[in-house]
Amino acid sequence: MSKLEKRYDFVLYFDVKDGNPNGDPDAGNLPRVDAETGNGIVTDVCLKRKIRNYVQITKGNEHGYDIFVKEKAVLNKEIDAVYADLGIKVDAKNKAKGDDVEKGRAGMCKKFFDIRTFGAVLSTGANAGQVRGPVQLTFARSVEPVVSFEYSITRMAVTSEEEAEKQGGDNRTMGRKYTVPYGLYKACGFVSPHFAASTGFSKEDLDLLWEALVQMFEYDRSAARGLMTTRRLVIFEHNSALGSKPADELFSRVKCERTGAEKDKPARDFSDYIITLDGNPITETKTIVNV
């Protein structure tokens, strides 16, 4: 594995058409929206989930690429399993002590891609401490306000005989579905080589992260999410671990504007926008810029 020696900052644009990119369970699963501006929101947790899913699908059970936070996982059991593999004994309260905590932390980072990438709280159960990950993401925010459409849907079946009797044999179930007709979202991210050194996050892991950001929606299709696509990934590669320029200054070089004759109408396709770097249109999905 190659040590990560440079800092990276990146901008990610992705869009959704006729889908719900990130429903809010506290609001009936409506698409998340900034109540003051109307801009759509996709949380960093949602994006990390898609990265995890991509790695889990493409890497399978390959050594070093297991996923810690995955569906139906019991996290304390995963910590216990690593301690057992390392031959580390815990006390009567199932807690590790002293240097064993650091050994457990290192073992967790080595085994799980998402821990050495995003970090994790491992102080529960047998206690493997805490990990601060080198890769951090912001919330994604739509470049323009979005609207949520609500649709009534019908299922031509019921779940039980009792429900069928109440309907007199009609056997229909009504439901609701919420979508954003179209939204182009922007998220920013950061990669720190200093935290990468402490977790073992390597250059090979970084390449896998870029691959996941480009392809993650292709492997995570859902009827609820409609058509989601990564449109542009602009990566700023610094020439040192400390970096050459502030991230905000670099991000300001990437702009998104409406194009075409119907700029006053709601956007309904990616072709309604143009994304530029230093005023020049970006045509490739992934672009690496040396700074």
Q: What is the pLDDT along the chain (291 residues), one digit of tens a residue?
A: 799 999 999 999 999 999 999 999 999 899 999 999 999 999 999 999 999 999 999 998 799 999 999 988 899 999 999 999 999 887 767 788 888 899 999 999 999 999 999 999 998 888 888 999 999 999 999 999 999 999 888 878 878 888 777 777 777 777 889 999 999 999 999 999 999 999 999 999 999 999 999 999 999 899 999 999 999 999 999 999 999 999 999 999 999 999 876 788 999 999 999 999 999 999 999 999 999
Residue 87, sorted as left (phi over 0), alpha (psi -120 to 50) or beta, turns out to be left
Contact 103, 112 (CB under 8 A): no
Instruction: Name residue, tokens 């072709």.
Output: 271
Q: What is the pLDDT of residue 192?
A: 98
- Using DSSP's 3-state secondary structure scheme, residue 280 falls into strand
86 neighbors 108 (Cβ within 8 angstroms) = no
pLDDT at 71: 87
- Radius of gyration of the CA atoms of the chain, in A: 23
Q: Which residues pair with 132 in a beta bridge?
A: 119
Alpha carbon distance, N-terminus to C-terminus of the chain: 24
Rounded Cα distance between 110 and 87, Å, is 16
Q: What is the pLDDT of residue 261?
A: 66
Assess contact for 55 and 47: CB atoms under 8 A: no
8 Å CB contact between 9 and 191: yes
3-state DSSP helix/strand/coil % of the chain, to nearest 5: 30, 30, 35
Q: What is the pTM of this model?
A: 0.92
- Cβ-based neighbours of 156, under 8 Å, separated by 6 or more: 171, 172
Closest CA relative to residue 257, chosen from 287, 230, 235, 282: 282
pLDDT of residue 213: 98
* Separation between Cα atoms, residue 215 and residue 229, nearest integer Å: 8
How far apart, in whole angstroms, are the C-alpha atoms of residue 126 and residue 128? 7
Report the C-alpha gap between 260 and 269 in whole angstroms.
12
